[in-house]
Amino acid sequence: MRKPVNVLVLTYWSLADALIQTYTLPYLRIIQKRLPPGSRLYLLTMEKSKSAVAQNPAAEALQQEGITWWPKRYYPFGFKAIMHWGVLVLGLLINIRRYRIHCIHGWATPAGSAGYVLSVLTGVRLVIDSYEPHAEAMVENGTWKKNSLAFQLLFALEKRQTKRATHLIAAHAGMLDYARLTYGVELNNLLVKPACVDLNLFHFWNEQDHRLMMELGLEGKIVAIYAGKFGGIYLDREVFDFLKAAHEFWGERFRTLVLTSHQEEEIASFCKRSNLSRHVVITRFVPHREVPRYLSLADFALTPVKPVPTKRYCTPIKDGEYWAMGLPVVIPDGISEDSEIIRAENAGVVLRELNAEAYRSALTELEVLMAEPRAELRNRIRALAVKHRNFSIAEKVYDVVYGQ
Per-residue pLDDT of 56-96, as tens digits, reads 667 778 888 889 999 998 887 777 877 888 889 999 999 99
CA distance to 237, 245, 272, 278, 354, per residue, from 266 (Å):
11, 20, 10, 11, 21
Half-sphere exposure of 131 (CA within 13 A, CB side): 32
Q: CB neighbours of 109 closer than 8 A, spacing ≥ 6? A: 128, 131, 132, 133, 134, 135, 154, 157, 158, 161
The arithmetic mean of pLDDT across residues 28-49, rounded, is 93
> Is the pLDDT reported for residue 32 higher than 90?
yes
In sequence order, which ranges of 183-263 are alpha helices (DSSP H)? 210-216, 237-250
Confidence of residue 347 (pLDDT cuts 50, 70, 90): very high
> Is the pLDDT reported for residue 49 higher than 60?
yes
164-180: pLDDT as tens digits: 999 999 999 999 999 99
95-145: pLDDT as tens digits: 999 999 999 999 999 999 999 999 999 999 999 999 999 999 999 988 899
Confidence of residue 55 (pLDDT cuts 50, 70, 90): low
Confidence of residue 53 (pLDDT cuts 50, 70, 90): low
263-285: pLDDT as tens digits: 999 999 999 999 999 999 999 99
Whether the Cβ atoms of residue 170 and residue 254 lie closer than 8 Å to each other: no
Lowest average pLDDT, out of 76-80, 201-205, 379-383, goes to: 76-80
- pLDDT, residue 207, reads 62
The arithmetic mean of pLDDT across residues 205-232, rounded, is 88
Whether the Cβ atoms of residue 247 and residue 280 lie closer than 8 Å to each other: yes
CA 149 from centroid of its chain's CA atoms: 26
Distance CA 260, CA 304 (A): 13
In sequence order, which ranges of 132-185 are alpha helices (DSSP H)? 135-140, 149-164, 175-178
For residue 85, give the 3-state DSSP assignment: helix
pTM for this predicted structure: 0.91
Domains of the chain: 6-196+390-402 (3.40.50.2000), 210-388 (3.40.50.2000)
